[in-house]
Structure 1
Amino acid sequence: MAGLKQRSVGIVMNGVTGRMGYRQHLVRSILAIREQGGVRLPDGTVVWPEPILVGRNEAKLAAIAKDHGLDNWTTDLDAALADPAAEIYFDAQVTSRRVEGVRKAVAAGKHIYTEKPVAEDVGTALELARLAASAGVKVGVVQDKLFLPGLLKLKRLVDGGFFGRVLSVRGEFGYWVFEGDWQEAQRPSWNYRSEDGGGIIIDMFCHWRYVLEDIFGPVRSVQALAATHVPERVDEGGRPYACTADDAAYGIFELDGGIVAQVNSSWATRVFRDELVEFQVDGTEGSAVAGLRRCRVQHRSVTPKPVWNPDLPATEDFRGQWQDVPDNAEFDNGFKAQWELFLRHVVADGEFPWDFLAGARGVQLAELGLRSAHEGRRIAVEPLSL
């Protein structure tokens, strides 16, 4: 980087021994940013992230550090936060431990970037937002789905007026998570224990809040049905345990403009679709189906005229009647792209709208979704403020 001004930024990364913290945030984001030569600012300055690995398992931390040529790691969060070179605290711990870490980071005067949900309840999420605002630190919450190529294309269609008036959104997310007995589970066991902050509503409704809001408009009401379809699983140590959290949720959300969104989320469904998550959007002028990467459209002018006849086999290739939306851009890893935005936000005051209040709105929708499922009724979603 000869001739370039380098600005090193120490990042306390708490929870890097976990699946998301390690794969998406350390390897595919921070280390990938270092491999590309840092983050270039408009004035030519290069932001260079310096990770400080934090976790509870010393052996795992040491192995990760050795594998990636890193030498700054510790099991002592307080010591890491006391490092004057550390400017950012990042939290990818289990949800039940996040609040404690964030509070310590605020007290230490660090800027904070965290996985969602930012807290287990909306009251605590708002408290953290107020603490951070009072301390004058910059904050952000991971909202990775907005950076998926398929949803970026969908957003492009909405902004370009392709749909005319949007009528409805239908989302399908999920896959079969093995129970852990005869095949290893793809998700950690705490996900299925409510006492440990688990459950698909607290996990996924936070995502659906920002996806629906950023692409279509504010969520005004929620009605949800929660289920625990698989009542017993086997944990990482081979021990059976009772599942106390929901592993499937069926939600209906009313958005501004009369848009109705239906989103099914399940860890107990087998995939018969092109991608693990898909959204179909229907509008007066056209429709689209967007997944993780692909987005296909059918305009009003080329919409066929199917006729219902259960006495004859279908002869139309319905999927073949849709057209792919071109990339027209290079799409980076969504976690990495948002990390770059947050680094620019911290160093150069770049725009970053996904703050703790945005995170609290996600927690609010999850909390109201659980309440709706418990009470069996539709519940209004009121605006939040600090």
Structure 2
Amino acid sequence: MSRLPIGIVLNGVTGRMGYRQHLVRSLLAIREEGGLPLADGTRLWPEPILVGRSEAKLAEIAQRHGLTEWTTDLTAALARPDVQIYFDAQVTQQREKAIRAAIEAGKHVYTEKPLAEDTAAAVDLCRAARAAGIKHGVVQDKLFLPGLRKLKRLVDGGFFGRILSVRGEFGYWVFEGDWQAAQRPSWNYRAADGGGIVVDMFPHWHYVLEQIFAPVRSVQATIATHIPTRVDEQGSAYGATADDAAYGTFELDGGAIAQINSSWAVRVYRDELVEFQVDGTHGSAVAGLRECRIQHRGSTPKPVWNPDLPATERFRDQWQLVPDNEVYDNGFKVQWELFLRHVHENAAFPWDFAAGARGVQLAELGLRSAAEGRRIEIPSLEL
């Protein structure tokens, strides 16, 4: 069986997501399986070229995984004729410039979200990519989580009847960095560095709502910086200037209402770090990262409010677990495989820069809604 190498520049591979999810659990995992099988029997073989700012970190990662190609010179990496794809996992502030350079070099582009710092820049990147005739995509990993894939299966099968509401809870306690080290880098909590939970999470909620339920019609958000002072990686205290919690209400086409709370200042009392409850006229579901539970209207209990007596039924026990019915691979890896097939076989890939721009738009309008204290309708983007 022939092997077809494909050069992929990975920029930002020294960061947590770039390294763990995209290099190790996606591209190297594909290599461990012998490459990605294509329709003609060829196996596509990813050849990562690691790019970052630290020579020492790049060299260490390369040595750890038996890789030989790494550089701190992005321009040189993009000039290589054996490179077909550029991938970006840098901090958002560095992303637009690098993606533009990749487009100008004629490379296909796949990137972490958000696509850009603001809607105008994201739209411009989409137009530039289309004009250049390259393939382009944005990571939308939550769509490939087992729990949400089961939820999508329920929607497609008509399980809910008319969907009334979606309630989402996401988050966990990120330690302040003084008496315990923080689980997230300090730049996440500085607005000047592109931090903030709205910028981070609203693009996720946009594609989850749009692609599983319906397009978002309006947003109304309240944001907060609950923890005003944190301690950085060097042990120095700094003022947190970015929002660490957001409470959003989204109206969807068709009339359903979604409410999603996002917080890095909440302690977890739920089964998974993110959960969505969907209620419809015919049934309800609660989906997390991996599991999904349902309750059909035929098996819905009939509670009666009586605060003077203890509850006589265990409500959680009245829900049914949705079976897997298939094997679920790592979500980042699955989307990488789809993008690789998009590049080489022109397979469908709807998660493009246009989808990414809509996610940036929702985050931008969410922040504006919070600042102005009002509901804001989502206009169509001219793409």
TM range, normalised to the smaller chain? over 0.9
Structure 1's unaligned 5+ residue stretches are none
Q: 2:336 aligns with which of 333, 336, 339?
A: 339
Amino acid corresponding to residue 309 of structure 1 in structure 2: N
Could you list the per-position Cα deviations for residues 148-170 of structure 1 after superposition, in whole angstroms to 9, with x for gaps in the alignment?
00000000000000000000000
Could you list the per-position Cα deviations for residues 327-360 of structure 1 after superposition, in whole angstroms to 9, with x for gaps in the alignment?
0000000000000000000111111001101000
Distance (Å, rounded) in 2 between the aligned partners of 1:342 and 1:41: 12
> How far off its partner does 1:45 sit?
1.2
1:281 counterpart SS class = strand
Distance (Å, rounded) in 2 between the aligned partners of 1:58 and 1:131: 31
Could you list the per-position Cα deviations for residues 191-236 of structure 1 after superposition, in whole angstroms to 9, with x for gaps in the alignment?
1011111100011000000000000001000000000000011111
**In structure 2, what is the equivalent of residue 143 of structure 1?**
140
State whether structure 2 residue 189 is matched by structure 1 residue 183.
Answer: no
Distance (Å, rounded) in 2 between the aligned partners of 1:197 and 1:245: 8
1:203 counterpart SS class = helix
How many correspondences in the alignment? 383
Q: What TM-score does the superposition give when structure 2 sets the normalisation length? A: 0.99
> How far off its partner does 1:5 sit?
2.2
1:338 counterpart SS class = helix
Give RMSD over aligned pairs. Answer: 0.5
Distance (Å, rounded) in 2 between the aligned partners of 1:345 and 1:330: 22
> How far off its partner does 1:382 sit?
1.0
2:254 counterpart SS class = helix
Amino acid corresponding to residue 250 of structure 1 in structure 2: Y
**In structure 1, what is the equivalent of residue 100 of structure 2?**
103
Amino acid corresponding to residue 297 of structure 1 in structure 2: I
Amino acid corresponding to residue 16 of structure 2 in structure 1: R
Amino acid corresponding to residue 164 of structure 1 in structure 2: G
**In structure 1, what is the equivalent of residue 194 of structure 2?**
197
Distance (Å, rounded) in 2 between the aligned partners of 1:385 and 1:46: 38
> How far off its partner does 1:379 sit?
0.1
Q: 2:281 aligns with which of 262, 280, 284?
A: 284
Amino acid corresponding to residue 182 of structure 1 in structure 2: W
Instruction: Spell out the pairing of 1:240-319 with structure 2 (5 A cutoff).
Output: 240-319=237-316
**In structure 1, what is the equivalent of residue 52 of structure 2?**
55
State whether structure 2 residue 60 is matched by structure 1 residue 67.
Answer: no
Q: 1:219 aligns with which of 210, 213, 216?
A: 216
**In structure 2, what is the equivalent of residue 11 of structure 1?**
8
Distance (Å, rounded) in 2 between the aligned partners of 1:380 and 1:261: 14
Identity of aligned residues (%): 75
Structure 2's unaligned 5+ residue stretches are none
Q: 1:34 aligns with which of 24, 31, 34?
A: 31
Distance (Å, rounded) in 2 between the aligned partners of 1:70 and 1:350: 29
> How far off its partner does 1:314 sit?
1.3
> How far off its partner does 1:385 sit?
2.8
Q: Is the 8 A contact 1:357 1:385 kept in 2?
A: no
User: Which 4+ runs in 1 deviate beyond 4 A?
Assistant: none
Q: What TM-score does the superposition give when structure 1 sets the normalisation length? A: 0.99
State whether structure 2 residue 83 is matched by structure 1 residue 86.
Answer: yes
Distance (Å, rounded) in 2 between the aligned partners of 1:211 and 1:376: 25
> How far off its partner does 1:249 sit?
0.1
Amino acid corresponding to residue 176 of structure 1 in structure 2: W
Amino acid corresponding to residue 210 of structure 1 in structure 2: Y
> How far off its partner does 1:21 sit?
0.3
State whether structure 2 residue 371 is matched by structure 1 residue 367.
Answer: no
